[in-house]
Amino acid sequence: MLVRNAPPVAVDDVFAAQEATATILDVLANDHDPNTGQPLTVTEVRTSGNGTAIIDTGGTITYVSRPGVSSDSFTYTVGDDMGRTDTASVTVHVYRPSPAGPTSPSVTVPVSSPPVSPSPGLPSPGPPSPAGPPPTSDSPRPSSPAPNRPPLVTGDLTAVTAGEEVTLWPAGNDTDPDGYDLTLVSVGRPAHGRVHTRPGPGIVAAAGEGAGAVTYVPDRGYAGVDRFTYTITDGRGGTATGTITVQVTAARPEPPDLPVSGPDGDSIARVGALVVLTGVFLRWLTDARPGRHRRR
């Protein structure tokens, strides 16, 4: 009995994501295929320009919004193993991290006492005691310093081709709410590559600028999504950790170098863009001039 393959059913999604932070969206969680048992994969993503979305190897999508965006939407295509597809939309509500709670402003309420009249039959209050009221001081009271707030990290998203490397400045889009300089102190180890810092960890730069370069090199033969973490500090005890997501695309295969036979069985060897002529074929080309001639 021949069973007709039905296309998968993609259902629209709504997610919440922190501004400019890499967020994993499981868009396949509510999608299904009428033909039970067929696996579904995300085959394509089309964004609007307000953010970046890449397809993870597990079928999820990693999304990073642009700074200042409050809402974004994009479409994705889901397919089964028989080539049938369907498309759905994703709406992302972008929110900003809540800053540290502000200190409550102090309010001074003046208090005035009404004049007191003694009741009939009671003695009037006498003059004040010679000692007088307790001494007071007009010196300002020392105020407690505001607590240090940790830096605010923004997720980083980049791409590289297999066999190449990519350099980025992960703290370049991070900020410190107290305006302190940021320092890159450590970088985690990715699962499918290696990283090194240039010129090294501990590079101090102004908040919001660069704070050390990180170079990522994917493992040989790997293509997919890789992630690793980094940690920054403001030098006042505040630290924060962010995530770097790298999309590694497979390199295009080079065309094979195939030998081509020439006259008299000689060969033309192709080496990259260079063509090497060998044997009698080279002599035959140099002798191919107008007029009659004979082969030596």
Helix (H, G, I), strand (E, B) or coil at 172: helix
Q: Which of the residues in the chain have pLDDT under 70?
A: 1-2, 97-143, 198-211, 254-296
Query: Do residues 93 and 15 touch, judged by C-beta distance below 8 A?
Result: yes
Q: Report how far residue 205's alpha carbon sits from residue 184's, in angstroms, rounded to the nearest whole number.
A: 9
Average pLDDT value for the chain: 76
Q: pTM (2 decimals)?
A: 0.50
Q: Report how far residue 55's alpha carbon sits from residue 41's, in angstroms, rounded to the nearest whole number.
A: 10
How confident is the model at residue 273, as a pLDDT? 43
CA distances from 155 to 69, 243, 245 (A): 15, 5, 8
Helix (H, G, I), strand (E, B) or coil at 196: strand
What is the DSSP secondary structure assignment for residue 250, as one 8-state letter?
Answer: P
Query: Do residues 91 and 16 touch, judged by C-beta distance below 8 A?
Result: no
Continuous H helices in the chain: 279-287
Identify the structural domains of the chain with CATH numbers, from first to last.
7-96 (2.60.40.10), 149-252 (2.60.40.10)
How confident is the model at residue 76, as a pLDDT? 96
The predicted-structure confidence for 122-175, as pLDDT tens digits, reads as follows 555 555 555 555 666 566 666 677 898 999 888 788 889 999 999 888 887 888
Cα angle: 255, vertex 256, 260; to 5 degrees: 120
The predicted-structure confidence for 215-235, as pLDDT tens digits, reads as follows 999 999 999 999 999 888 888
